Structure 1
Amino acid sequence: MILEYSFVQNALLGSLLASIACGLVGTYIVSRRLVLISGGITHASFGGIGLGVYFGVNPILAAMAFAVASACGVQWMSARGRIREDSAIAVFWTFGMSLGIIFSFMTPGFVADLSSYLFGSILAIGPGDLWVLGIVAAAVVATFALLMRTIVCTAFDPVFARSLRLPVPAIEYIMMALTAMTIVATLRLVGIVLAISLLTMPQLTAGIFTYSFPRMATLSILFGMAYCAGGLAVSYWLNVPSGASIIFVSIIIYAALKTIKTAAAKFM
């Protein structure tokens, strides 16, 4: 039976941890309309991977540090009004990608594992990747458990949150850092090219059924798990890349559910 293989067990555990982290963080991103920022952070993280490969440092840890710095940089530049938010995203997006490409090509020898960070390889994740995912998921859950009310207020109406004297700037920086960490932690699952979908597709699907932040977060976690499991199955049956399969399944299910709801609404 396929579940007897350790790499499949690692893939399923990784999917569970990634779904928890992405379900919570992604709900904040979608509610706050920060999808473009998450895309910028995703691609900027490639700069950290290139630096890590060149200097012999763990690429995931290097990418995480670079992504957190980029996320905080975007937040700082846009909050101070020094540059428009979309322009700040473009700066870090292109800088990170160019830096990653330069240092990857400067690395002596052939970097065989580089494609797994670009396109994902969930069946290749090991104990180290699971530890990173576990720590990030635990940090995300703890943050939401302690600061749920403030996070929800900041996500939907930061101006109103400030009027309540809530620490909006601190929450924004914390959530940007958690977003960066979550993105990097999931790179081995779906890769840089597709990571943004794991933070948005479960939330879009959950939004079909509810607009409540807590319920949307819960449904996003469940849909994330279902998408990962379905994508793994498609990947196994068709012998195609698992990261792309996960995103393909998520989009197909979302489109089907959206079509069903729209059709049902016409007859009600």
Structure 2
Amino acid sequence: MTIEEFLLDPLRYEFMVRALATTVTAALVCAVLSCWLVLIGWSLMGDAVSHAVLPGVVLAYILGWPFAVGAVIFGFLAVALIGVVRDTSRVKEDAAIGIVFTTLFAFGLVLVSVTPSNTDLNHIIFGNLLGVSREEMIQIMILAAIVLLALVLKRRDFTLYAFDATHAHAIGLNPRLLGTALLALLALTSVVALQAVGVVLVVAMLIIPGATAYLLTDRFSRMLVIAPTVSVSCAVTGLYLSYHLDTAAGGMVVVTQGVAFAFVYLFAPRHGIIGRRLTAARTRAATAAKAVG
């Protein structure tokens, strides 16, 4: 098979074109948001929200509503419940997150098991990237555009909140409001990604790109470029590999992102395990050469 056949053969099918557009959209918006999630330390919160939307999606199906409506409602509900448990009891935030998201996710699994359906609701859990309809693709793109627009317009406020919430408050910003806004965007982003890779793998798309970029640069502005670039590249690569190897599309996208993280984890110049040693060895060699000279 030539490179041209490798690249163009999947595009002969309309479902692959929709899958490619959906994957790139989800990868882009997840990667941008992941920069803030990694910086603030909200990885577990991303896991919680992405799993907690499952019962909302099933209930939306039962009521005949768009999946996005139910997912957003339960995403906001999960965030609110976590805050209530944390603020009104001795339970700490990590425990509150674990209690709420596991309970809601289990409730969703129960609903899936008892809901008669002509649609395979397990696709919500594991993803159905190759089965995305035109209407779902448009819905995903609209939600992604809303999230990206909000992140771009408020990026300075969100960044200041992530680095120093106390300073943000001192200059007149409302840290609680900014945190709530980020959580709302997290809920919307989970909706964008769940139709692509499913509830189980959404958290990977929300965390891996930001973590990868974090190992490659110390500047947040560069993270916002590196993370989407890596995420979109891995999404396209994973989708092509899934087509030619006949594997699960959503799973292959996430595996590709995981492989990219592993490579960066090992070989990043400043923060990679092997990269640090190589840099240190070159520095020692240069110092020794100067001393000899």
TM-score normalised to structure 2 length: 0.84
Is the 8 Å Cα contact of residues 216 and 264 (structure 2) preserved in structure 1? Answer: no
CA distance in 2, matches of 1:193, 1:177: 19
Alignment of 1:229-244 (within 5 A): 229-244=236-251
CA distance in 2, matches of 1:235, 1:241: 6
Of 110, 122, 140, the residue aligned with 1:115 is: 122
Is the 8 Å Cα contact of residues 7 and 124 (structure 1) preserved in structure 2? Answer: yes
Residue 225 of structure 2 is aligned to residue 218 of structure 1: yes
Cα distance change on mapping 1:7 and 1:243 into 2, 3 Å: same
Deviations along 1:108-156, one digit per CA (max 9) or x if unpaired, are: 3x45421211111211112222222222221122212221111001112
1:84 maps to 92
Deviations along 1:216-244, one digit per CA (max 9) or x if unpaired, are: 12211111111111111221122111111
CA distance in 1, matches of 2:28, 2:223: 12
Cα distance change on mapping 1:161 and 1:81 into 2, 3 Å: farther
Matched residue SS, 1:186 = helix
Is the 8 Å Cα contact of residues 183 and 195 (structure 1) preserved in structure 2? Answer: yes
User: Structure 1 counterpart of 2:106, which letter?
Assistant: S
- Report how far residue 80 of structure 1 moved: 6.5
- Report how far residue 202 of structure 1 moved: 1.1
1:267 maps to 278
- Structure 1 unaligned spans of 5+: none
For structure 1, which segment, 92-101 or 246-255, has the greater mean C-alpha deviation from structure 2 after superposition? 92-101
CA distance in 1, matches of 2:54, 2:98: 14
Of 160, 163, 167, the residue aligned with 1:160 is: 167
Alignment of 1:18-33 (within 5 A): 18-33=26-41
- Report how far residue 206 of structure 1 moved: 1.1
1:125 maps to 132
Matched residue SS, 1:57 = coil
Of 141, 145, 154, the residue aligned with 1:138 is: 145
Alignment of 1:57-206 (within 5 A): 57-75=65-83, 77-78=85-86, 83-108=91-116, 110=117, 112-206=119-213
Is the 8 Å Cα contact of residues 24 and 140 (structure 1) preserved in structure 2? Answer: no
CA distance in 2, matches of 1:208, 1:231: 22
**Count of paired positions:** 267
> Kindly, what percent of the aligned residue pairs are identical?
25
- Report how far residue 20 of structure 1 moved: 2.4
- Structure 2 unaligned spans of 5+: 1-8, 280-293
- Report how far residue 98 of structure 1 moved: 2.7
CA distance in 1, matches of 2:20, 2:226: 18
CA distance in 2, matches of 1:160, 1:49: 39
Is the 8 Å Cα contact of residues 23 and 218 (structure 1) preserved in structure 2? Answer: no
1:15 maps to 23
Larger Rg: 2
Matched residue SS, 2:218 = coil
- Report how far residue 78 of structure 1 moved: 3.6
User: Structure 1 counterpart of 2:75, which letter?
Assistant: A
User: Structure 2 counterpart of 1:157, which letter?
Assistant: D
Matched residue SS, 1:267 = helix
Runs of 4+ in 1 over 6 A off after TM superposition: none
CA distance in 2, matches of 1:6, 1:113: 21
Cα distance change on mapping 1:159 and 1:126 into 2, 3 Å: same
Residue 63 of structure 2 is aligned to residue 55 of structure 1: yes
TM-score normalised to structure 1 length: 0.92
- Report how far residue 171 of structure 1 moved: 0.9
